Structure 1
């Protein structure tokens, strides 16, 4: 008589809950760390990941390795309608860099807490930060700025109005006319207004660079790209590579105190790729340079465009720049003295 094999060991069953029901199996603990890290990368949001960091020691270990982060600076309290957050943020940042106390009505602790939340992440390679915008000029469509040894350029695109032709027949494109020529022409009033707004964008870009330096200093070993934009996605300051990260954190790399700019204006600008028409389109490019650097006609915009195409970033601003640089000469030259701003 052959002996029967012993029965397989029974799996221990979790104790029933106080209600008598069998508790559900914790399936997420069956996932490998690599898959959890992929999920964290897809989540991306720094606030949500900080919450995930509190779940368990295992989650904390995985979350801290997330390579891509998105941090949104908290907006003002909607119950406080008199609070002007962009102005107070600007004042707080400007004073904090000179080690002065923040304004009484600005929640500086909340701002610092948002920055401190990034310190626990040990492998940040791509960082995106969103701040409220200081700029309220509705004619600004996009602006882009990069600063460092190889680039100190801010480009701003204005348009009085925009017409989308994607839902119209191509045969109607040639019928576009300016209904009100004064609406799109570069009058003295419009010129002064757009130069003033360009200076404001340039100041905002400079302060965003200071914010980036303040935030990324704890990630200099791993960080490869960084971007700081506004909630309306109109403007951004970009750090493209490791060299620009090093330039950002290098105390010897300082922005020159002066520079120059160029202004292009086109009454009607047709964009065949995006099938849009811009009325009263103005491009202002501002470049900070040393006194020894020779002024160039395109303010370094062509070099900037080449770099952006290498990372496959295409948009309205780059299409406008390509058409304007190919077909139009600068309408104005601008002298920039940043020390007098």
Structure 2
């Protein structure tokens, strides 16, 4: 009896109009599911080729990516023993950053599930990518990073707070009475700086993925990149922004910029207590890092920070605006 019901259900599905079936596949969107459906029947194969929206999860950076098959070290902005030298970071901030490997990793190091199958879907117009992230941070860490890849030169902005809590009358009075912490301690700065550079590494991966996808899939009209832990501000490129990026981006130029990078291109700021009146929250011991690939004046740097968090609608976006409006003097270039 069950087999009869299954057969009847299958027959009903096959009687659906093509446009309805394509709409169902559009809602599925997951590349692995679409690949399985593609193998079911000739009809499914032909209809899946009409899908215009595809999502890919589980994008990673391979550890083994050399042509010879031998294991190679992946791009790591904290490589060359840099973590072991972080004890000197506070005394001479960012002294060793000139040794960072800043350029985006090559396409051979990316593991993007279903990328070969995606090449068959010539009508795809929207692609959503989710990159696996694994930050070395406490579970209750309050941080967010965002990247501005559409400016003349890429930049990354990182926000970190020791706590995020609902603002109450009692808490507000307590903060007004206690103005003791006007500086950040070495113990607090070191893990934040380390985490900031992990985020820079993540941004470098995104940039490499973005460059590869935009270059090799010219039919795309919309592209989004996010991370599995939701720690990076979702990157959206569509319409004129995507066209601008496709026409203007020069990977060789970015590599050249990375080779000539100096610590003076980084800005760091600290705010002891940051009230967020719009959301009704307050952040404590807030640190902001802005990393650029080239020199820029303050107005250009601040504009890039806002652009990096343009897609963020929560407390982090408000925090950035509050810092730039009321605590701009705390953001200093590092030397």
CA contact (8 A) 1:268 1:280 kept: yes
1:91 aligns with 2:63: yes
Matches within 5 A, 1:50-69: 50-69=35-54
The 5-angstrom pairing of residues 17-166 of structure 1 reads 23-24=7-8, 26-73=11-58, 89=61, 91-92=63-64, 95-96=65-66, 99=67, 101=69, 103=71, 111=111, 114-138=114-138, 139=141, 141-148=143-150, 150-165=152-167
Matched-pair contact (CA < 8 Å) for 1:133–1:232:
yes
Q: TM-score, normalised by structure 1?
A: 0.70
Q: TM-score, normalised by structure 2?
A: 0.71
Change (3 A) 1:192 1:179: farther
Indicate which of 206, 222, 226 corresponds to 2:223.
226
- Displacement after TM superposition at 1:324 (Å): 0.7
What CA distance in whole angstroms lies between the structure 2 residues aligned with 1:116 and 1:207?
20
Alpha-carbon distance in 2 for matches of 1:174, 1:244: 46
Report runs of 4+ in structure 1 exceeding 6 Å deviation. Answer: 19-22, 178-184
| 1:184-263 equivalence runs, <5 A | 185-220=183-218, 222-236=219-233, 238=235, 240=237, 241-243=241-243, 245-246=245-246, 250-251=250-251, 253-255=253-255, 256-257=257-258, 258=261, 260-263=265-268
Q: In the TM superposition, what is the alpha-carbon distance from 1:328 to its structure 2 partner?
A: 0.6
Contact 1:159 1:280 in 2 (8 A): yes
- TM-aligned CA deviation for residue 313 of structure 1: 4.7
Against the structure 1 CA distance between its residues 135 and 301, is the aligned structure 2 distance closer, same or farther, given a 3 Å change threshold?
Answer: farther
Partner of 1:315: 314
**Root-mean-square deviation (Å):** 3.8
- CA–CA distance in structure 1, aligned partners of residues 305 and 331 of structure 2: 20
For 1:299-310, list aligned pairs within 5 A. Answer: 300-303=301-304, 305=306, 309=310
Residue aligned with 1:314, SS: coil
1:332 is displaced (CA, Å) by 4.8
Q: Is the 8 A contact 1:205 1:237 kept in 2?
A: no
Which protein has greater RCO, CA pairs closer than 8 Å, 6+ apart? Answer: 2
Query: The residue matched to 2:148 in structure 1 has which SS?
Result: strand
Q: Distance in 2 between matches of 1:328 and 1:266?
A: 7
Question: What is the deviation of 1:102?
Answer: 5.4
Aligned-pair distance for 1:327?
0.5
